[in-house]
């Protein structure tokens, strides 16, 4: 009730409004990578996820992944509506968006990164599909303006695990004390993991996204710029 209904109705409300305006030639929707990867297929290290993947709403509902279900059902509804109305629809599927903040307040993703600086993970998963906010914004413009843009576009720079994010933060900002701060049990639990060799994870294809002229920002730089933005706006003091 809190996630699925608003996602579907909100998406369709906008599309219905667009369909009433003859001068609108194309609609670009911001969906999510979670409407791509949650289908029950094993995500082993040799897997490359691409735009042909679709999450299974029944799998999401069965596993009580309500946010994933809401994004999946909303995108499915959008494609059905676009086909019915013969609307030129382009869908972008970004991962977990990080980078500098425009607004003066915290949003959910910046709250998650702020928690990372304390060694905490408030995200419901230990796996992150990271992408820079500036790359996502640029992709929207390109998807709208390039005539040949079509279908879906996965926008993920790298699939990263929480311990790797902690390790990178510790290297960028040693004064955070992520390895020696005993105030947070989670950090102590993760200390050993910070020094383990990193496992190779599955990948998300960038081939189609690069056809929009997109050159992905390395996730480490995006993470650093997020932290610097949090410092600048007074949410973090290091």
| pLDDT classification of 187: cutoffs 50, 70, 90 | very low
210 an active-site residue?
A: no
What percentage of the chain has pLDDT greater than the value 70? Answer: 91
pTM for the structure as a whole: 0.90
Nearest to 88 by CA among 19, 10, 12: 19
List pLDDT tens digits, range 141-155. Answer: 999 999 999 999 999
* pLDDT value at residue 198: 53
Please give the radius of gyration of the chain, using alpha carbons only, rounded to the nearest integer: 19
Nearest to 4 by CA among 67, 85, 98: 67
pLDDT at 124 > cutoff 60: yes
Selecting among 20, 41, 64, 71, the annotated active-site residue is 71
pLDDT at 184 > cutoff 50: no
What's the rounded mean pLDDT across residues 28-46? 95
* pLDDT value at residue 178: 83
- For residue 236, list its beta bridge partners: none
Report, at the CATH architecture level, how domain 3-233 is classified.
3-Layer(aba) Sandwich (3.40)
Q: How far apart are CA 143 and CA 88, in angstroms?
A: 11
What's the rounded mean pLDDT across residues 80-109? 96
């Amino acid at each position: 009730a809190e996630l699925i209904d608003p996602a579907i109705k909100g998406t369709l409300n906008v599309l219905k409004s667009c369909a009433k305006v003859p001068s609108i030639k194309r609609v670009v929707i911001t969906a999510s990578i979670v409407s791509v990867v949650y289908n029950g297929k094993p995500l082993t290290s040799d897997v490359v996820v691409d735009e042909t993947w679709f999450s299974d709403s029944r799998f999401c509902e069965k596993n009580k992944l309500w946010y994933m279900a809401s994004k999946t059902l909303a995108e499915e509804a959008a494609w059905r509506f676009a086909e019915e109305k013969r609307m030129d629809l382009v869908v972008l599927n970004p991962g977990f968006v990080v980078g500098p903040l425009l607004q003066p307040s915290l949003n959910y993703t910046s709250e998650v990164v702020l928690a990372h600086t304390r060694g905490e993970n408030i995200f419901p998963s230990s796996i992150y599909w990271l992408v820079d906010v500036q790359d996502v914004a640029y992709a929207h413009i390109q998807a709208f303006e390039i005539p040949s843009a079509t279908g879906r576009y996965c926008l993920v720079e790298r699939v990263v695990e929480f311990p790797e994010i902690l390790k990178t933060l510790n290297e960028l900002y040693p004064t955070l004390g992520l390895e020696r701060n005993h105030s947070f049990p989670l950090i102590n639990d993760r200390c050993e993991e910070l020094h383990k060799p990193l496992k190779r994870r599955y990948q998300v294809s960038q081939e189609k996204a690069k056809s929009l002229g997109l050159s992905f920002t390395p996730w480490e730089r995006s993470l650093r710029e997020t932290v610097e933005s949090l410092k600048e706006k007074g949410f973090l003091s290091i």
